Structure 1
Amino acid sequence: MTRKTGTLAIIALLVVIVFGFISYSSYKNSEDATVDRLAAALIENDEAAVKQYMPRYSNKKKISKDARNIFYQQLKKLKQEQVVKLLKDEENFSIKEGASFLKPAQVYPNARFLVIELPKGTELRAEIQAQEISGEYVEDWNKYTFGPFLPGKYKVAYEMAHPKFGSKKEKETVDLKAEDQRLTVKENHLYENNPKFQKHLLASAVNYFDSLNEGIRDGLNVSSLIASKEHKENLQASFEELEPYLESFDQQFQTVKIDCDSIAVNASQTKVQLDLYTDLKRSMKLVEEVGIDETLTSDKQNAITSFVYDEDQKKWLVDELDFSTYQQDPEKWEHVESYRGDAEKKAHWGKESAGDIV
C-alpha cells in the first residue's frame, strides 16, 4: 500500500465514522426515538428525562411538578405503545426537531384547563387523580379555573359546600385531550340526591315533634318549639284558645319518614316542601261543660311539610304541616330518610296537673 493509498483509506474510514455518528445521532435525536424515550420516562416517572424531552407547554409556559405528577397517575395502566400513540396525537402534542442533529427533538403538550362554575355562595374543594388542587377564583361568577394540565382523561372528585344545603361530593371523569372542559353546577344539583341535606331536614322534623312534646308537658307552652317564629306563634295562640275547653291533651310518636324525591325548593331558596310520614297520634278530652264525653283522637300520618330557612340559626325549621293531604304508603317511596326511636315518645297535659312526663 502506497502512502497515498493509506491516506485515502484513513480518510474513507473517518468519513464512515463521521457518517455513522451523524446517522446514529440523527436517529437517536429523531422525533420517533424521542417519543419512545419520553414514553418510557413517563411510565417510569423519570423526571429528569421527562423535563429533557418535554420541557414546557406549547404556549411556552412551564410545566409544574404537580401537573407532571397528575399526568403520571393517568398513565399507570397504559402500555408504552399506548403512551407513544397519545404523544403523537397532533391535537394534543406537537413535536419539534432539535436545533441540530446533536440535539434531541422535543415534545410540547397543549395546556388544558378545567373550569368549575358554581351557584353563588358555594365553596369548593377539588382533587384530580386523588391529588388536591387549587385554582384561580373569580368571585363575580363563583368560578374556579384549574390548570394548566397536560392533555388526558382525569378522574376528578370535588366537594361543594353551600350554607343552606350543606356539602355534597361528586366524582366524574373529564376528558382534557381535545379541549378545555367546563363543569357548570346548577342550584338544584346542590340539594337533589344530597344525603346530608335530606338528613338535615329529617332531623329538623324529628326535633319539631320532640320539642312539641316538651311544650305539651310544659303546660301547653311552645315557646321553645323548634319551628319558625310564625308557626310557633300560631300554635301557641291555638293552644291558648283551646285550653279552657280541655281536660287533657296527649301526643305520641316513634317514627318519622320523609320522601326524598318529593323535596322541592323555591327559587329564592327560602322555603322547602316535602312529603312526610309519622305515626303521630293525638287525643284530647274536653271539659264536661262542652257536652262531648268521648275522647277525640287524630291519627293522620301524612303531611305536606314546609320548612323555612332561619338566617340566624343557619337551619331549616318546620313552618307548616298540612295533614289534610291524601294518605301515602311510605313503603312505596323509592328514596327515604327515616327515624325510629327506641320506644314511643309520649307527652301528656292535664288540667289538674302541671304536665306529666310519661
Structure 2
Amino acid sequence: MTVSTEQATWFHDAFESLVDNVDKAILGKKDVIRLVVAAMLSEGHVLLEDFPGTGKTVLAKALANTLDGTHSRIQFTPDLLPSDVTGVTVYNQESRTFEFHKGPIFAQIVLADEINRASPKTQSALLEVMEEALVTVDGEPHSVGSPFMVIATQNPVEQAGTYKLPEAQLDRFLVKTSLGYPDRETSVDLLLDAANRARASRVSPIIGPEAVTAMIQLASEVHVERAVMEYIADLLQGTRDDEHAALGVSMRGGLALARIAKTWALSQGRLYVTPDDVRDLATHVLAHRIIIDAEAEFAGTTSQQIVDRVLARVTPPATRAS
C-alpha cells in the first residue's frame, strides 16, 4: 500500500492539530512536542530527562488528555512492586475462580513518573509490555491494546534513592529528550498565568484511539529508499566502531530510527524519507543507547558527542532514485 497525497495532507493536518493542542499546556516547546507526538505515532515510548520544574509531567498529562482514551499515572517509588504496575491474579470465593485484576499499565498513555526511583525488579516489569504490548501474569498473556505508549520522567540531578536504568530498559525507549528551561518571553507568559496550577487540564481530547491507530498504520507505509536504510545501517555501525563506545547501538535502535523517520517525513506532508529526516532524529533516538567506555566517560565524553562524530563521518546518500 502506498500513501496518497490526500492521506499525507490529512496526516500532516492531524499531526499539527495534536501539537497545537498539547502546546496549550507547554508553551514554547513545539519542537519537543513534535518529537513526542511522532514517537507516539511510531508505536514508541519516550524518556523525558530534565531538571525539576521544567514541565515533564505536564507534557505527559497534556498528551494523555489530547487522546480521547484511557490514561494512567504510576508514581515510581522504592517500595513499588511489579504487581502494582502489571496487576495481580486474585481468587474469587463466590465463583471459585482466579480473576486477573489489571494494573495501571493497562492504559493507552501511561505516565511513569520518576521511573528511576523504582527498584530494578519493578523496572523489569516494564520490559515485556514496552516491547510486545503484552503483560504475562501466572503464565497468561494479557494485551494492553493499541495505541499504547509509556512516557517516563526522571531527574538527572538528584541521585539519592534512585536506581540507574538498565541498558535493556533504555533500549526500549524510542526517544530520549528534554524540555529545558523556557525562554524569557515564554517565562513571562507562564508567570502571568501563575494562578493556573493545572495547565494540562485546559487540554481537551481532539482525537480518538481509532484515528491514532489509523495514523500509525499510515506512517508505516511511507516509502524509504534502500540508500536511506543503508545510511541508517552505516550510522549504527559507526557507533559500534567509535573508539569511545564500549557498546554501540543495537538493531532495535536502528529499527526505531527507521520507524520514526517515516512518521517524521509524513508529518511534513512528504511521501518519502530523506537523509535529513534521519539526521534530525539520530541524536534523540540513538544517543541514549550507547554505553561509553569508562575512561572516556571520566574524561567528559558524552553519547551525544559520539553520535555527532558519526554523523559527521558517515556520508549521507546524495540522490534519490526515481
**Global fold match (TM > 0.5):** no
Higher helix share: 2
Specify the structure having the higher radius of gyration (Cα).
1
TM-score when normalising by structure 1: 0.19
| Superposition TM-score, scaled by structure 2 size | 0.20
Question: In proportion to residue count, which structure has more strand?
Answer: 1
